[in-house]
Amino acid sequence: MTRMPPIRHFTDLAALDRATLRAILDHGAALKARRGDPGDRRLLVGRTLALIFERNSTRTRVSFEVGMRELGGDVLVLTGDALQLSRGETMADTARVLSRYVDAIMLRTDSPEKLDDLARHASVPVINGLTSLSHPCQIMADLMTVEERRGSLDGLVATWVGDGNNVAVSWIKAATHFGFEMRLACPEGFDPPAQVLAWAQAQGAAVTLTRDPEAAVAQADCVITDTWMSMSTSEDERERRARVFAAYQVNQALMDRAKDSALFLHCLPAHRGEEVTSEVIDGPQSVVWDEAENRLHAQKAILAWCLS
C-alpha cells in the first residue's frame, strides 16, 4: 500500500521545523537573486492558488498574486463576502469544494478556528495569510530582511515593542525555532497569549516579556512594532489603546538605546505619530520597504514548498 505524503500546510510556524523554515528562507533568497529566471517561471505552471480575503490587504494580496504568476501559476482572488461563506456555508464544505478546483488555498481571516477548519478539511495545502492569532508569512519576509542586512540570525537580539498581537506571536515562534533572543515590551493587558509564551518557554526559547520598552531595546539588533489597532480590534478600544500604548511609541530616543546598527521593522500598514514616528520609519535604520518586498520572495518559496 502506498501512503500519501502529508499535505504541506503553511499555517503555523510551531507546526513546522527549523530545517523546513531554513530551506524556505534560502530558496526565497535564491529566487530573489535570480528573479525572472526562465526555470523559475515554469515552476508552478498549471497550478492554481485561491486567495480568500475576509479582511483587507495590500501586501498579502499583491505579493501572492504576483508571486504565483512569476512562478508560472494562476490565481483566483475571492473575497469572503462574495463567497457562500458569507451566507452560512461552512469552512469545511468550502474546503472540500475548493480542493476539487485549485491546488492551494490562502486564507486571511480574523478567526484562527476558520483557518484550522479549512486546513482540516482541505485536500490541498493551506497557507495562513493572517489570522487574529498569527501572521507566519510576514515573519518569513522579516527574517529574510534581517538576514540580508545582518548576514545571519545567529546571536540576534530582537525586541518587540507594543501590542502582543498576531505578528508578535509569529516572531516568538520564529525565535524559538532559530534560537535567537526575543524580548517583548507590552503594556499590561496586551501580552501575547499565555499559551504561546508557555510553548516557547517549554522549548527552551530565550523569550522574555517586560513592561519597560527602554530596558527591552537596550543594545538590541532590531526593534519591531506594529499598529495599536489590529484589524480584529474593536473600534470601541481605540481611545483606551491610544492612552495605554502612548509610552510604547518607537521614536528616535527609543531607537538610540538599541545598537547603532539596529534595524527598524514594521509589517505595515503603519500609523506615523502613533506606534512609530516618521523620523524612525522614514529614517536610515528602517527596512520596512525591504520587508514589504520580501513578502513576494519569501512567499514564492512558501508556495514552491507547499506545492512540491
Q: Does 170 bind ligand NVA (CB under 6 A)?
A: no
Annotated binding residue at 234?
no
- Residue whose CB is nearest to ligand NVA in the complex, by number: 230
- Nearest partner of 264 among 162, 190, 196, judged by Cα: 162
Residue 227, contacted partner among ligand NVA, ligand CP, none, CB below 5-8 A by kind: ligand NVA
Asked if residue 134 lies in contact with residue 279, where contact means CB atoms within 8 angstroms, the answer is no
User: Quick one: which of 20, 48, 111, 230 contacts ligand NVA (CB under 6 A)?
Assistant: 230
Q: Does 134 bind ligand CP (CB under 6 A)?
A: no
Q: Does 268 bind ligand CP (CB under 6 A)?
A: yes
User: Quick one: which of 11, 63, 165, 170 contacts ligand NVA (CB under 6 A)?
Assistant: 165
Q: Which CB, 105 or 270, lies closer to ligand NVA?
A: 270
**Residues 204-223 interacting with ligand NVA (rule: CB under 6 A):** none
Asked if residue 9 lies in contact with residue 119, where contact means CB atoms within 8 angstroms, the answer is yes
Q: Does 130 bind ligand CP (CB under 6 A)?
A: yes
Annotated binding residue at 58?
yes
User: Quick one: which of 9, 27, 47, 59 contacts ligand CP (CB under 6 A)?
Assistant: 59
Annotated binding site: 57-60, 84, 108, 135-138, 166, 226, 230-231, 267-268, 295
Which residues form the interface with ligand CP (CB under 6 A)?
57-60, 130, 138, 267-268
Annotated binding site for L-ornithine: 166, 226, 230-231
Which residues form the interface with ligand NVA (CB under 6 A)?
130, 165-167, 226-227, 230-231, 267
